[in-house]
């Protein structure tokens, strides 16, 4: 398959997954996760193929991957829509595809996928409440004047400081 064809196919799996999930599988959490993760993985794979092929091309900046199709007829001519992959686009494809795949993986774990529901689950709250980090710990002189593990009076109900 040519690189230009793969470039056109990269956005296709997420779009198809969106319609599949919204129209058919939104009741099944497992099937929706599987379809979404599979679509993100296919787009990641296509992006990596384009990125590797872009690395192998000498002088990609002078001769980028281009492809255009006729889209809208004008008076005697066509308005074309197309894609172009130059070095900056190839690097962006790499980072965006990797980031989206990691976001999908994190979101499945964040929503406690596969965990049994119990008394610890409360609607509207994240699965684990993050620990509170006092702002005063970010200020060097204030944090240095207290013994280690001692919080300011306003941040902790347990007061370990003797002042």
Give pLDDT, residue 111: 63
Give pLDDT, residue 90: 93
Helix (H) or strand (E) holding 71: strand 65-73
- Residue 93 burial (C-beta neighbours within 10 Å; 0-12, 13-18, 19+): buried
Give pLDDT, residue 121: 57
| Tokens of residue 49, six digits | 């193929």
Give pLDDT, residue 130: 47
Give pLDDT, residue 129: 45
Query: Is residue 113 classed as helix, strand or coil in its secondary structure?
Result: coil
pLDDT by 10-residue block (mean), the chain, 163 residues: 92 96 90 93 95 92 92 91 93 93 82 61 53 52 54 54 51
Query: Distance between CA 1 and CA 45 in Å, rounded?
Result: 14
Query: Is residue 83 classed as helix, strand or coil in its secondary structure?
Result: strand
pTM of the model: 0.66
Give pLDDT, residue 145: 56
């Amino acid at each position: 398959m040519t690189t230009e064809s793969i470039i056109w196919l990269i956005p296709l799996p997420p779009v198809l997954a969106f319609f599949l999930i919204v129209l058919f599988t939104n009741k099944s959490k497992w099937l929706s996760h599987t379809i979404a993760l599979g679509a993100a993985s296919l787009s990641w794979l296509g992006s990596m193929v384009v990125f590797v092929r872009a690395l192998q091309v000498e002088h990609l900046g002078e001769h980028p991957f281009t492809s255009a199709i006729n889209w809208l007829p004008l008076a005697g001519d066509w308005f074309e829509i197309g894609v172009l992959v130059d070095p900056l686009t190839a690097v962006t494809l790499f980072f965006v595809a990797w980031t989206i795949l990691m976001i999908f993986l994190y979101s499945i774990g964040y929503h406690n996928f596969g965990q049994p529901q119990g008394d610890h689950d409360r609607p509207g709250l994240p699965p684990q409440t993050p620990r509170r980090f006092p702002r005063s710990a970010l200020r060097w002189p204030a944090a240095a004047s207290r013994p280690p593990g001692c919080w300011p009076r306003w941040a902790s109900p347990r007061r370990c400081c003797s002042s």
